[in-house]
Amino acid sequence: MKLLILSDIHANYPALQAVLDKDGTYDKLIFLGDVVDYGPHPKECLDFIKDNAYFYVRGNHDNALGYNADCNCMGKFREYSIATREWQKLF
């Protein structure tokens, strides 16, 4: 069995597609969190994980968006996270 293990997509659907295009054959997909925040494609990434992952966990950024919580990231990343999270709540 071939597993594809992914994490930290952060709403970057083109990067996700690039990974799948490079080695898109797998039996099961395991996702280890942080599908949202930072990037411009939260819906596409969420839909992909929901439709294709055999198993997934909620990352700190997923938790922050879903529950309006602090993601506990540091420095400039925190500023970017807060800004993009506000925008991604619209989806």
Domains of the chain by start residue, with CATH: 3-88 (3.60.21.10)
The whole-angstrom separation of Cα 83 and Cα 21 is 30
Q: What's the confidence (pLDDT) of residue 89? A: 79
Mean residue pLDDT across the chain: 92
Average pLDDT of span 52-80: 92
Q: Which of 6, 11, 63 is nearest to 35 (CA)?
A: 11
Name the 3-class secondary structure at 15. Answer: helix
